[in-house]
Amino acid sequence: MTEESRTISRGAEDLSCPPAPTEQERPNPGLYSTHALDRAFKANLARMTAGITPAGVVSVYVEWLAHLALSPGKQVELGEKALRKSLRLGHYVSRVASDPAASPCIQPMAQDKRFADEAWQQWPYNVMYQSFLLTQQWWHNATTGVEGLSPPRERVVNFMTRQLLDHWSPSNAPWLNPEVTAATLQTGGMNLVDGWQNFLEDWERNISGKPPIGAERFSVGENLAVTPGKVVYRNRLIELIQYSPTTPQVHAEPVLIVPAWIMKYYVLDLAPGQSLVEYLVDQGHTVFMISWRNPDSEDRDLSLEDYRRLGPMAALDVVTEITGQPKVHGLGYCLGGTLLSIAAAGMARDGDERLASLTTLATQVDFTEAGELMLFVGESQVAYLENMMWDQGYLDGYQMAGAFQILRSNDLIWSRMVHDYLLGKRQPMNALMAWNADITRMPYRMHSDYLRSLFLNNDLASGRYQVDHRPIAIQDIRVPVLAVGTTKDHVAPWESVYKIHLLTDAEEVTFLLTNGGHNAGIVSELQHPHRRFQMRTQRQGEPYLDPETWQQIAPEHEGSWWPALQSWLGSRSSGKVSPPPMGSERFPPLEDAPGSYVRQS
């Protein structure tokens, strides 16, 4: 038999006796329905757990307990600490019995204001809060320094334990809080009646999707987002606003602002006197702003790449045509800054030289040290969120807000509960609070891309993130960079923002650190009291400074950082020209600012 006939013979045998199908080729008929059942179950469970995976929390506690059980030395240490803290508390009790003004045996952390009222220094409340702080300190010792527990898992168990302890703080119990008991005696209990009414009102507004009490006094286009301008471009994802000039001449290079889509754009055009847009326009800059559409279920398949393509890249085309200028200053805030950095790196790779400079506000491009927000980002957590988003097509803003509130539970949850529900008071609504309550959504695919590519895998900082199916690198960005961080940022810690120094070969990197938080530190109007900032430029070829050294040597300035931004942009512009027209023949004005997308609920 020839080789050819043997081959044909084998083929005939294969055809006549095909191999049994594998399980992969022929899945169990119930596979898809059972998988859908799992996703539906987890999606509904996620709504009850604020999007936090119970499996992830349980697994980290089991791992911590296992390592602690295998560490007899750590157990002995914790036993000794418990004994010493008991003795400290006993000694303090004996001292205050004879001297009510005796100094405490433990002080709260600087940011912990729960026990600041003088009433907490009176018996028996002083003993209560001292006992609580000592217990809190012991649990911190118990959840840190356990050999074999990885640092990320240690941070998670420490954080979750702190949240549980904060729940049981004596300040949260009306009969243990001297401020509440005093108010109850003074008002005959009306503070609790008023607090109950406040609770019912908040609960009703929450379940019906209404904004919080007081937000009705703030309205987009009336006392929020009122800087004059025109919508000159609209696509499926953005409206582009061009602001009207207020000076006879303007800097030649326009400014394109890319805000985060996690919230409405107008945090940067908050109110008269509190608007970064208004300030830059008054200083002679031509400003364009992206206003993101609020997506819904039909937008579930919009990707992060779609946001880049339909967002900053589409806006750049319009800005350069309207102004006739070949260069544009790019400015991005939070996620908008990350997206603008991705766009800038792609442009640098492809030889697109339309950016004159890159400014990022509270923006990360390396997510290895993204602060306590990373506690909510792991494979278990991301998969859990994906199930919730798969079910509804997007991540709801209220679901997302829960995670941010937990990061600052003392400020945003417990202190509010005491103030509004136990003391029966209301904190007056302001413009920033009204903006914060104007919730947005994020499409399923885009948010999954963002969590996996950037947070979970850190692809952007590692040179693996792809634009147009090819990797990009932040290192390719060569234009001048100004990166702004804030000292109390729980979302983008300034040390993480500072990592831009390690990732780009720009001709110069200027880092500016201002006091305040992620939002309040950026909204730094000129008349804002107690504002200060540090600023320093590192030029290409100069040795790297670590964040601590930078903070020690960078010059400090009093007041808002906005004039420093304006000066930085102005010094990197090519001169003054007449203001460009509002729109163009191809992109005529469509409607007055702030447009339609920002009004979508």
Q: Are 442 and 385 in contact (CB under 8 A)?
A: no
d(CA 115, CA 171): 8
269 by Cβ neighbours in 10 Å (0-12 / 13-18 / 19+) ranks as buried
pLDDT > 80? residue 49: no
What topology does CATH give the domain 229-368+458-599?
Answer: Rossmann fold (3.40.50)
Q: Which of 545, 107, 162, 108 is nearest to 372 (CA)?
A: 162
Query: So what's the pLDDT on residue 143?
Result: 95
d(CA 343, CA 322): 20
d(CA 190, CA 57): 40
Query: So what's the pLDDT on residue 388?
Result: 62
Q: Are 280 and 458 in contact (CB under 8 A)?
A: no
d(CA 256, CA 242): 9
Mean pLDDT of 106-112: 86
Query: So what's the pLDDT on residue 37?
Result: 65
Q: What is the 3-state secondary structure (H, E, C) of 548-565?
A: HHHHHHCCEEECCCHHHH
pLDDT > 90? residue 50: no
Mean pLDDT of 97-110: 88
Residue 346 in tokens: 């792609």
pLDDT > 70? residue 401: no
Q: What is the 3-state secondary structure (H, E, C) of 394-463?
A: EECHHHHHHHHHHHCHHHHHHHHHHHHHHCCCCCCCCHHHHHHCCECCEEHHHHHHHHHHHHHCCHHHHC
d(CA 284, CA 114): 46
pLDDT tens digits, one per residue of 13-40: 343 444 444 445 555 655 556 665 665 6
> C-alpha angle 171/177/182, rounded to 5°?
145
pTM, rounded to two decimals: 0.85
- Residue type (1 letter), 383: A
pLDDT tens digits, one per residue of 287-325: 999 999 999 888 888 999 999 999 999 999 999 999 999
Query: So what's the pLDDT on residue 17?
Result: 46
pLDDT > 80? residue 377: no
d(CA 196, CA 419): 12
End-to-end CA distance of the chain: 78
pLDDT > 90? residue 574: yes
Cis peptide before 124 (omega within 30 of 0): yes
Give 414 or 411, the one with higher predicted confidence: 414
Residue 322 in tokens: 């309207």
Which residues form the catalytic set?
334
Return the residue matching tokens 């990707």. Answer: 303
pLDDT > 50? residue 98: yes
Query: pLDDT confidence of 180, banded at 50, 70, 90?
Result: very high
Q: Are 255 and 280 in contact (CB under 8 A)?
A: yes
Return the residue matching tokens 């049994």. Answer: 20
Query: So what's the pLDDT on residue 155?
Result: 84
Mean pLDDT of 91-116: 88
Give 569 or 379, the one with higher predicted confidence: 569
Q: Which of 52, 114, 48 is nearest to 373 (CA)?
A: 52
d(CA 243, CA 585): 17
Name the range with the highest mean pLDDT among 198-202, 264-268, 371-375, 527-531: 264-268
d(CA 161, CA 168): 11
- Determine what percent of the chain is predicted with pLDDT higher than 90: 64
Query: So what's the pLDDT on residue 356?
Result: 97
Q: Are 492 and 364 in contact (CB under 8 A)?
A: yes
Residues in a beta bridge with 512: 484, 535
Q: How does strand 470-471 pair with strand 355-361?
A: unpaired
Mean pLDDT of 532-557: 95
Query: So what's the pLDDT on residue 20?
Result: 47
Mean pLDDT of 192-208: 90
Q: How does strand 355-361 pair with strand 394-395?
A: unpaired
Query: pLDDT confidence of 404, banded at 50, 70, 90?
Result: low
pLDDT > 60? residue 571: yes
Mean of the per-residue pLDDT values of the chain: 87
Q: Are 73 and 80 in contact (CB under 8 A)?
A: no
Query: So what's the pLDDT on residue 482?
Result: 98
Q: Are 587 and 322 in contact (CB under 8 A)?
A: yes
Positive or negative: CA dihedral 457, 462, 466, 470: negative
Return the residue matching tokens 């103030």. Answer: 419
Q: Are 79 and 117 in contact (CB under 8 A)?
A: no
> C-alpha angle 538/543/546, rounded to 5°?
80
Half-sphere exposure of residue 195, counting CA atoms within 13 Å on the CB side?
18
Mean pLDDT of 140-164: 89
The residues spanned by each domain of the chain are 229-368+458-599
Give 277 or 386, the one with higher predicted confidence: 277
